[in-house]
Amino acid sequence: MLKKMRRIARATRKYKLAWRYAYNLLPTLSYQRRGSSLSNEAQRVLRDLNRDGIAISSVEALLGSDSGYSDLLATVASLQVGKAVEIETARANASDDTAIGKKTFLLEYLGRNPVFDPASVFARIAVRTPLLGIANAYLGMYTKLRYYNIWHTFASQSKPRESQLWHRDREDLFILKVFIYLKDVDLGAGPFTYARGTHGKGPIRQEPEYFLEGKVQRTDDSQMAAVVPPDQWTVATGAAGTIVFADTRGYHRGGLARTGDRIMYTCMYTSRASESEEFFVRGAESPAQNGDPITFALTGPRAEREQQ
């Protein structure tokens, strides 16, 4: 009976009305009561997101001088010193394409499951008013911060695999990820690439052909081009300080670095009802307060259950 109820809950969660007004009612009402005030640049980003599923801005244009970006750069530089051996070991293994599922071309500086620290620069940037405000406005509710990390993608010459191939995330109806480039990303550094209009708010509903890599659906460039022509792909190259917003429910790929490494900060926002795993390792927490979007975003599922 319990398994049947879970299957029913998972099925109904895919319908937008049930997703919003049953599983995410309180976050939706809290957002509607409080509203959201966005800067001109944030409003432009939101319009692009709603239309295309992807938007590009910069630290300077969106966050201004008090961005925390310099603190982020300094913290990452310190991490790189402490992880110098680990980084070079990962670099040496970047072309190993026999360990599918491990993304040997990518090193997460904070580990697969970061120890959650709300005072860290990684959390503080994620809940900055422009970023969190855009996430809440895009989903139309108070969102949860599910993940943050520093990604170091190594240049390699192995064939495209895993997230270097086209795919879409499926853990929620809308999944907003943010990438902040910590160094210049050109075509040779594996820029994030997005098929515009394939997100839930977009017009493209046709699924491209795919093949299975293990149990995961992957699509190559020719298969994607049959549904979304390449002139409708956004290739997100940019200088250090570029900020990329993307609803990864739409089709995307990235990290196929050939001539240079890619280093960036990333974070992810979802609804409370998302099926995404909780990536963080958390200590004791205070219960979430629905009236406070920052506290709500930072609070984990255990504290929420204790509140209910």
Q: Which domains does the chain have, with CATH numbers?
A: 38-307 (2.60.120.620)
CA Rg value for the chain:
19
Q: How far is CA 17 from the centre of its chain?
A: 24
Q: Helices (H), strands (E): how many in the chain?
A: 11, 11
Residue that is written with structure tokens 């970023």 in the block: 131
Judge whether 90 and 154 are in contact, CB under 8 Å: yes
Q: Which 8-state DSSP code applies to residue 125? A: H
Q: Which residues, 6+ apart, have CB-to-CB distance to 172 below 8 Å?
A: 249, 270, 271, 273, 274, 275, 276
The answer to whether 278 and 125 have CB atoms below 8 angstroms apart is no
Strands (E), the chain: 54-58, 106-108, 144-153, 176-181, 193-195, 211-213, 216-218, 233-235, 242-247, 252-253, 262-270
pLDDT of the chain along its 308 residues, tens only? 555 556 666 667 888 999 999 999 999 999 999 877 899 999 999 999 999 999 999 999 999 988 899 999 999 999 999 999 999 999 999 999 888 889 999 999 999 999 999 999 999 999 998 999 999 999 999 999 999 999 999 999 999 999 999 999 999 999 999 999 999 999 999 999 999 999 999 999 999 999 999 899 999 999 999 999 999 999 999 999 999 999 999 999 999 999 999 999 999 999 999 988 789 999 866 555 556 899 999 998 755 654 54
Structure tokens at 189: 């550094």
Do 191 and 264 meet the contact criterion of CB atoms below 8 Å apart? no
- Rounded to whole angstroms, what are the CA distances from 98 to 63, 102, 198, 213, 261? 41, 9, 31, 12, 21
As beta bridge partners, residue 259 has none
Residue 289 has what pLDDT? Answer: 55
CA 259 to chain centre: 24
Q: What is the pLDDT of residue 277?
A: 79
Query: What pLDDT, on a 0 to 100 scale, did the predictor assign at position 99?
Result: 83
Angstrom CA distances, 69 to 65, 109, 181, 260, stand at: 9, 17, 10, 22
* 146, 275 contact by CB (below 8 A): no
Contact 256, 190 (CB under 8 A): yes
Nearest alpha carbon to residue 35 among 113, 165, 136: 136
Beta strand 242-247 with 252-253: parallel, antiparallel or unpaired? unpaired
d(CA 264, CA 72) in angstroms, rounded, equals: 10
Residue whose token pair is 């192995």: 158
* pTM, rounded to two decimals: 0.94
Q: Which helix (H) or strand (E) holds 199?
A: none
Distance between CA 287 and CA 199 in Å, rounded?
33
pLDDT at 297: 94
305 SS3 class: helix
pLDDT of residue 132: 97
- Strand runs (DSSP E) across 135-237, as ranges? 144-153, 176-181, 193-195, 211-213, 216-218, 233-235
**Res 308: pLDDT:** 47
Q: Which residues are 211's β-sheet partners? A: 218
